Amino acid sequence: MIPLPENFETYSEARKKGFLKIMDMKRQVGKKVVGVFCSYTPVELISAANAIYVSLCGSGEEGISSAEKHLPGNLCPLIKSSYGLALSDACPYFYFSDMILAETTCDGKKKMYELMGRLKPTHVMQLPHNADSEAAEDLWLSEIYRAKEALEHTLHTAITEEALRTAIHQKNLERAAMVRLYEIGKLKPCPISGYELSTIIESTAFMFSGNQKLAAMESRAEELINEYEQSYKGKPSRPRILITGCPFDGVRDKVIKKIEALGAQVVAFENCSGPRTQQSLVDETINPYRALARRYLGINCSVMTPNTGRFEALETMIRDYQIDGVIEIILHCCHTYAIESQLVKEFVTEQRRLPFLSLTTDYSTSDSGQIATRIGAFLEMIDTIPR
């Protein structure tokens, strides 16, 4: 396993540092904060409202016991953790949020938002069930206008077209830098572990200056390219793994770290925080609201029917990242990903002729041993001759 650098900052550490930054910005300059959950949320609207957006997704067992006082036990751990942290006041980000901008990406979340709305002003955007029609784009456009009005009303501000275009441009720069950093995984052998790479990128969610995010990602990308040229180029590669499926923040240690501890390397992420959701930029030449609608509706997710874009992304990533095996992470009770898993398995094993492993898990550590055993057996299927 590629060792972590001495100055490596864990996801939890970055999240905690972000707490203090949010508190300072709220208290010193009265900055408004908007909590978000999903990559479908048009965060440019929040920036244009001169507010900060911050991710509220739960990523651990903390909060789940509190959530189960109101929510069923057989529910996605991400939903339970997110709601439980809010309910118990254990998440400073939720505490400091002036409102929540949410979206109907799954039945569990949209019903949970009804309860969350009793804790904090919550505006829910109604996502279409497919992205392939003009009607769907028009519906999503109307939802973006509704979100604009909700932000303006709740935050007591006005979103101008000039401010929105500035926010779009800045976010496009951040997306391009993020994709460049993710694409370090295309290098063979890759000079960074997937554990570190995913942690660095997802930790930028807790940097609240666009320029700071850009500098951090661009600097690390340059360092890694130099490391590859000086120390890795031409050397053998370990088995290269692509991760797909649900968000994995809450299972990063028991899945991503374990894969790499057992001798493989995670080089690609085909999930909602990976490069496929960042590659598409917002068109800066047309009406900014229409541009936002088009860009965000184009995100691939298992909540969409059909979801053909996911398989196009898998095809491209398997080729470009020279993948040797695919591991899918499914969180308990995430029905859309669980059902779509059969199609993913068929695509990977029958069309791409690659080993495929599906892991269904939650945020507890009780199945860590079983997962390690299954990953070990999976890696034995992959040719381990130096690459």
> How many other CB atoms sit within 10 Å of the CB of residue 315?
13
Question: Could you give the dihedral angle defined by the CA atoms of residues 366, 372, 378 and 379, in that order, rounded to the nearest 10 degrees?
Answer: 160
Cα–Cα distance list, 325 to 258, 308, 319, 360, 384 (Å): 15, 21, 12, 17, 12
Question: Structurally, how many domains does the chain consist of?
Answer: 1
In a domain, 193, yes or no: no
In a domain, 97, yes or no: yes
Per DSSP, the residues of 218-239 read: HHHHHHHHHHIIIIITTS--PP
The answer to whether 63 touches 90, Cβ cutoff 8 Å, is: yes
In a domain, 157, yes or no: yes
Q: 103: domain range?
A: 11-162
Q: Give the global pTM.
A: 0.94
Helices and strands in the chain: count of H runs, count of E runs: 15, 8
In a domain, 50, yes or no: yes
The answer to whether 300 touches 313, Cβ cutoff 8 Å, is: yes
The answer to whether 319 touches 336, Cβ cutoff 8 Å, is: no
Supply the pLDDT for residue 46: 98
Q: What's 359's DSSP letter?
A: E
Backbone angles phi, psi at 104, to 5 degrees: -90, 60
Supply the pLDDT for residue 383: 67
Supply the pLDDT for residue 160: 98
Q: Which tokens belong to 214?
A: 């850009």
**In which residue are the tokens 């003009």 written?**
134
In a domain, 22, yes or no: yes
Cα–Cα distance list, 373 to 202, 258, 361, 376 (Å): 27, 10, 14, 5
Whole-angstrom distance, CA of residue 298 vs CA of residue 294: 6
In a domain, 376, yes or no: no
In a domain, 290, yes or no: no
The answer to whether 194 touches 269, Cβ cutoff 8 Å, is: yes
CATH code at position 130: 3.40.50.11890
In a domain, 123, yes or no: yes
The answer to whether 46 touches 79, Cβ cutoff 8 Å, is: no
Mean pLDDT per 10-residue interval, the chain, length 387 residues: 74 80 86 95 98 89 94 96 94 93 95 97 96 93 98 98 98 96 97 95 88 93 97 96 95 96 97 87 98 96 94 96 98 96 98 97 96 96 64
Whole-angstrom distance, CA of residue 155 vs CA of residue 98: 7
* Pairing, β 99-103 against β 51-55: unpaired
- With a CB cutoff of 8 Å and minimum separation 6, the contacts of 331 are 76, 77, 78, 246, 247, 250, 251, 337, 360, 361, 362
